Structure 1
Amino acid sequence: MSEHPRTVRHRGGTGARAVALPLVLATAAATLAYGAAPGTAAPAPVVAAPVAAAAAPAWATATADGFASVDALGQNGTYGGRDGAIVTVRTQAELERYATAAEPYVIVVAGTITMNPVGKEIKVASDKTIVGSGTSGHIVGGGFFLGQGVHNVIIRNLTIRDAYQGVWNDKDHDFDAVQMDGAHHVWIDHNDLRNMADGLIDVRKDSTYVTVSWNRMSHNNKAFGIGWTENVLTDITIHHNWIRETEQRNPSTDNCAHAHLYNNFLEDTPGTDITSSYGNYARGGTRMVLENSYFQGFRNPVTKDATASLVQRGSVFSGTSGRNESGGTAFDPRTYYAYTLDRAADVPALLKSGAGPRGSLGTTTASGTATGTATSGTIASGAATGTAVPVTGATTAALPAAAATTLTVAKDGTGQYRTVQAAVDAVPANNPSRVLISVKPGTYRETVKVPSNKPHVTVQGTGGSRKNTVIVFNNAAGTPKPDGSGTYGTSGSATFTVQADDFQARNLTISNDFDERANQSLAGHQAVALRTAADKVLLDGVIVEGDQDTLLLDTAAKERLGRVKVTNSYVVGNVDFIFGRATALIDRSVITLKKRWDGSSGGYVTAPSTAAGRNGILIADSAVNGDVSDRTFHLGRPWHAGGDASLDPQTTVRDTYLSAAVRTTPWTDMSGFSWKDDRFAEYRNTGPGAGSASSDRPHLTDARATAQAVDTWLGDWTPTAS
């Protein structure tokens, strides 16, 4: 879509964070599995003799609750290594071998493992459960690291302790019990974490879908930090933890999109050498819900920044002093998952008896017999013999039901098809049920079109990060077609076009890398990455990247309904880069503003072309940011495609973090049409780019906001991943 002159023509109508790119784009994504040392391979486990699925111990098939249970980013909840072999380890080498392997494992730590060197953090790969054997599993002098894209990890029933180097507020030794940098779907449960050099738990760099439950955290300067990024993305549940004799970060939540804390016990015992400085802390763009916790003797038990929202209810404060704050509106956790609250008054006794490692975990089979040290069993053909001992009863619990048909794509020829389009072509016309196109990591330089007669298609990357699988091309509106029939035009420039209903995309990047600098003589620099022209399109955990006109949210025809949900995703661009006539919900995502080809700042986030009487574009619970100049980007302008005065463009931005890049008058005219004659509004936005209501900056009333909410925007369609 081109930029048009702004001569005003009236008609009747109805009345973050500054980073160049999202973290997953700005840094090279780590591989899914941190493998063994170069030139070596992790040996296959010694496995027990085959047993019935029912024999798998319950702790080997346990799944997370809270935000770690939410289906997102291509991951269906958090179940760790339940689909792999169960192995028991007693040495650092064994633990590291299986924790870093590509395959799923349930790894039982039996006895004390002292890390060498001190501070060693084992790089855990995806699809792992690491569980202590009863109360005997100890990790001394080190811990675990979960890097970018690592997902589906459970760390449970361990004591992780004693990396302390003698300096209380240690700035030189970043020795944590558990550190996450860009991980997702992680469950930390029933551990005893204490006496480390830095933090006990660090949830950093956009790590998300994390649940921390039933742990004891004690005797440390810093207990639990969350954040280290300006992106408001982290979703985390923290419940039934006993935090005692810790000074700070109890926890500190920095720019958490959703932080749900309930039934925790924070205790500062008088007369000890450790004195609390603060308890639960919400800062930056955090939205926190705090329920039914118990604070004993804590100074400043609940604090918040002016920019954070914190709703608290039902907690008990005994012997506390200083700040105890709340304010703003946050979110309803029950819209994400079910949970049951214990009475706050019962929390101290409940956690003193129930938090920390349990003797019943990691030690019994389903029948209740002790596992012992199994010696029978088979070794996988060709595997190296290790010293790890299997736990009797290998788990055979399955992933959620597979799609009716799965087609695999791999550039290297290891799949059924080498291109995504070839797999789409193989989908039968008018297919009645879901077809999953599973795309292995790689860069696929091609254009893809899913035609209207091929509904129910899911295209999903299989890498550890959405950046691992990239579909990219470089057509622009003014690019000549190879057959000499003219140029592609804006809609025809799309790298990926969806014309079929009930389409889904997950865990991949769709990009248009048209080089404007090198093509200044070309007329028409609009270059679409993804065009949707269908109904019921779900984009979950994707990156859609371009410059001008990145994401075209279209419909099959003006009179046709087209609904799109974009969630847990990144949309990157500069001019009108979210545009079209579809009814679209952009939820819990990052909208990243890009400088133009010449290094200048300035642009427009949305350009809706909505039909009258329909919902347009709703951006909710998200962030708008970018490495651009302050006050240079508009949130939107009205696109009356073809000069159609009957259209009624609509964009609403609500409950979203706005960086200083957003103009103080965030809406502007387009092609002779005044934005004030269309539907543009904000509601409860935060950040330096937010502003008070005025005639140049309309805000919704509470009543109107109820009608423009996430759960009603898409009508009778409730998107679910399949």
Structure 2
Amino acid sequence: MEGLHTKPRFFLFSLFFLASAVLSGADIAELDDHWQKKAEEALARSRAAYHPDPEAVTNHFNTAVHLALAQARNDTRRALRGVHADKFKRRCVATNPIDRCWRCQKNWMKHRKKLAKCGKGFGRNAAGGKDGDFYVVTDPSDGDLVNPKYGTLRWGVVQDRPLWIVFARDMIIRLSEELMINSNKTIDARGANVHIAYGAQITIQFVHNVIIHGLHIHDIKPGNGGMIRDSLQHFGFRTKSDGDGISIYGSSDVWIDHCSMRNCADGLIDAIEGSTAITISNCHFSHHNDVLLFGASDSNENDSIMQVTVAFNHFGRGLVQRMPRCRWGFFHVVNNDYTHWMMYAIGGSQHPTIISQGNRFIAPPMRFAKEITKRDYATEDVWKQWTWRSEGDLLQNGAFFRESGTPNTRTFDRRDFIKAKPGTYSYSSMKSPMSQL
């Protein structure tokens, strides 16, 4: 039986990691010295980012939610005790800890980098470009993949130093080929309406410390490949890309927040090949089949160190499955609002640990799709040992979550564990205008 504290077999992980990089969708035509070095560094960083006590991370997250809600209530009580009506109208009504951290600051646009301190969950240490300069995207074009033009998004993301990337105005960026993001970057679209659309995907590969905030990503197509720059020091031949919205490959300390995503050729967000320390929060997903994929394949033990938080997201119209679909690792799915799915909401294979807390699930009208969960490639005598837990979820319209694992061995039953806010909180927090995109 795989317990909650199963430690990854790093010997096998190290052995397979570099060999599989060429073979499992890295889009690299040849693993040259540059990519081999990046893969080795990524492995070391993934090991360092892996948290040996994942329950402590979920506990910390749930505590932050309770504190944020208490602060919001205190603000309301103070406002009702005689302050002027106009001040009451302007009070911060954000109730989740990520949004309260920056939205409640009146001059947040003058202190953009405060966002780097607002992450929660497994991706909470992603600082992005906090230690770097600001870079302003003024040009939505993407014409030169090897020597990108200054002012374009591509120029900013390939730099070898930390950068906090913002946008001068509303724009639609059609990527000619996949956008290779280098380490220590923040893409911060707050204050502008920025669409990555009708072109190729965003790729986060063998890097660390990336924040993507506030983008609209939709209608992404597979790229044809070609010579593409991934850093100041290197460009090389890339094979055809899949058409994901965002592809996370062998990377760590990644936070995706307040993004709106729909209608991509492959997944909306895929995290594979030993990626870990990831948070996906406050996003809106709609009109897509395979939404979130965590784990490359049932045979890839690299993903045993994968740890992901999925929080405060809205899974909306036109979604079919994989919200998320998990393999191998540890996944905290908390305080999300699931209003639509056609097949199932949460699935997996190869003994992932899935902790579902305080979500609202509204089952579709089809009788065969009432079950939230789906387990693949295992018989019941096998999957009943996997730890899949539902706590405080709001189950509506006949939705049901099939739990598994031995209850008396779960550390989530320990007395000091902070329970998540219930599913009613997920619904009410989504209605708040301060937590919308």
TM-score under structure 1 length normalisation: 0.38
Say if 2:346 is the partner of 1:301: no
Q: Call closer, same or farther: CA 1:220–1:356 in 2, change over 3 Å.
A: farther
Residue in 2 aligned with 1:241?
A: 313
Residue in 1 aligned with 2:389?
A: 311
- Structure 2 counterpart SS, 1:57: helix
TM-superposed CA distance for 1:342, in Å, is 3.1
Are the equivalent residues in 1 in contact too, given 2:242–2:265 (CA < 8 A)?
Answer: yes
Counterpart CA distance in 1 for 2:412 and 2:122 is 9
Counterpart CA distance in 2 for 1:254 and 1:23 is 16
Residue in 2 aligned with 1:123?
A: 180
- Structure 2 counterpart SS, 1:22: helix
1:21 pairs with one of 15, 18, 38: 15
Counterpart CA distance in 1 for 2:17 and 2:435 is 33
How many residues align? The count is 297
Residue in 2 aligned with 1:56?
A: 111
Say if 2:189 is the partner of 1:111: no
Whichever structure has more strand as a proportion of its residues is: 1
| Superposition CA RMSD, Å | 3.1
1:326 pairs with one of 403, 413, 426: 403
- Structure 1 counterpart SS, 2:186: strand
Say if 2:135 is the partner of 1:83: no
For 1:111, give the aligned amino acid. Answer: D
Counterpart CA distance in 1 for 2:248 and 2:362 is 29
Unaligned runs of 5+ in 1: 1-15, 34-53, 70-76, 166-171, 269-274, 359-722
Cα deviation per residue 1:469-496 (whole Å; 9 max; x = unaligned)?
xxxxxxxxxxxxxxxxxxxxxxxxxxxx
Residue in 1 aligned with 2:430?
A: 351
TM-superposed CA distance for 1:21, in Å, is 1.9
Counterpart CA distance in 2 for 1:207 and 1:354 is 33
Cα deviation per residue 1:607-632 (whole Å; 9 max; x = unaligned)?
xxxxxxxxxxxxxxxxxxxxxxxxxx
Residue in 1 aligned with 2:358?
A: 292
Cα deviation per residue 1:326-366 (whole Å; 9 max; x = unaligned)?
1115865899xx988333113223224458764xxxxxxxx
Counterpart CA distance in 1 for 2:204 and 2:314 is 23
TM-superposed CA distance for 1:20, in Å, is 8.9
**Which aligned pairs between 1:163-178 and structure 2 lie closer than 5 A?**
163=220, 174-178=242-246
TM-superposed CA distance for 1:57, in Å, is 2.8
TM-superposed CA distance for 1:188, in Å, is 0.5
Q: Call closer, same or farther: CA 1:152–1:112 in 2, change over 3 Å.
A: same
**Which aligned pairs between 1:408-487 and structure 2 lie closer than 5 A?**
none
Say if 2:207 is the partner of 1:154: no
Counterpart CA distance in 1 for 2:332 and 2:115 is 26
Counterpart CA distance in 2 for 1:124 and 1:196 is 19
For 1:174, give the aligned amino acid. Answer: D
TM-superposed CA distance for 1:303, in Å, is 3.0
Are the equivalent residues in 2 in contact too, given 1:81–1:105 (CA < 8 A)?
Answer: yes
For 1:297, give the aligned amino acid. Answer: A
**Which aligned pairs between 1:55-74 and structure 2 lie closer than 5 A?**
56-59=111-114, 61-69=116-124
**Which aligned pairs between 1:547-586 and structure 2 lie closer than 5 A?**
none
Residue in 1 aligned with 2:160?
A: 102
User: Which entry has the higher C-alpha Rg, 1 or 2?
Assistant: 1
Residue in 1 aligned with 2:74?
A: none
TM-superposed CA distance for 1:317, in Å, is 1.2
Q: Call closer, same or farther: CA 1:284–1:61 in 2, change over 3 Å.
A: closer
Cα deviation per residue 1:272-327 (whole Å; 9 max; x = unaligned)?
xxx51111113212011111101012422123454432121110111145x63111
Whichever structure has more helix as a proportion of its residues is: 2
Say if 2:327 is the partner of 1:250: no
Are the equivalent residues in 2 in contact too, given 1:223–1:246 (CA < 8 A)?
Answer: yes
Counterpart CA distance in 2 for 1:355 and 1:254 is 34
For 1:325, give the aligned amino acid. Answer: R
Q: Call closer, same or farther: CA 1:282–1:152 in 2, change over 3 Å.
A: same
Are the equivalent residues in 2 in contact too, given 1:214–1:355 (CA < 8 A)?
Answer: no
Counterpart CA distance in 1 for 2:38 and 2:13 is 24
TM-superposed CA distance for 1:116, in Å, is 3.9
Q: Call closer, same or farther: CA 1:179–1:19 in 2, change over 3 Å.
A: same
Residue in 2 aligned with 1:550?
A: none
Q: Call closer, same or farther: CA 1:333–1:122 in 2, change over 3 Å.
A: farther
Are the equivalent residues in 2 in contact too, given 1:266–1:295 (CA < 8 A)?
Answer: yes
Greater relative contact order (Cα 8 A, min sep 6): structure 1 or 2? Answer: 2
Cα deviation per residue 1:224-260 (whole Å; 9 max; x = unaligned)?
111014211201111111112210111101111x111
Residue in 2 aligned with 1:654?
A: none
Cα deviation per residue 1:103-137 (whole Å; 9 max; x = unaligned)?
100111342233243xx321101000001132512
Are the equivalent residues in 2 in contact too, given 1:281–1:302 (CA < 8 A)?
Answer: yes
Q: Call closer, same or farther: CA 1:66–1:333 in 2, change over 3 Å.
A: farther
Q: Call closer, same or farther: CA 1:116–1:188 in 2, change over 3 Å.
A: closer
TM-superposed CA distance for 1:174, in Å, is 1.9
Q: Call closer, same or farther: CA 1:20–1:260 in 2, change over 3 Å.
A: closer
**Which aligned pairs between 1:354-433 and structure 2 lie closer than 5 A?**
358=437
Percent identical residues? 24
For 1:276, give the aligned amino acid. Answer: M
Counterpart CA distance in 1 for 2:141 and 2:411 is 43
Unaligned runs of 5+ in 2: 1-7, 22-30, 40-108, 143-151, 223-239
- Structure 2 counterpart SS, 1:56: helix
- Structure 2 counterpart SS, 1:347: helix
Counterpart CA distance in 2 for 1:133 and 1:213 is 15
For 2:260, give the aligned amino acid. Answer: D
Counterpart CA distance in 2 for 1:79 and 1:334 is 33
For 1:104, give the aligned amino acid. Answer: P
Are the equivalent residues in 2 in contact too, given 1:294–1:316 (CA < 8 A)?
Answer: yes
Residue in 2 aligned with 1:277?
A: 343
For 2:127, give the aligned amino acid. Answer: Y
Q: Call closer, same or farther: CA 1:266–1:30 in 2, change over 3 Å.
A: farther
Counterpart CA distance in 2 for 1:111 and 1:30 is 38
Residue in 1 aligned with 2:77?
A: none
Residue in 1 aligned with 2:269?
A: 201
Q: Call closer, same or farther: CA 1:294–1:60 in 2, change over 3 Å.
A: closer
Residue in 1 aligned with 2:195?
A: 138
Counterpart CA distance in 2 for 1:84 and 1:332 is 40
Counterpart CA distance in 2 for 1:195 and 1:345 is 29
For 2:306, give the aligned amino acid. Answer: T
- Structure 2 counterpart SS, 1:326: coil
Q: Call closer, same or farther: CA 1:204–1:83 in 2, change over 3 Å.
A: same
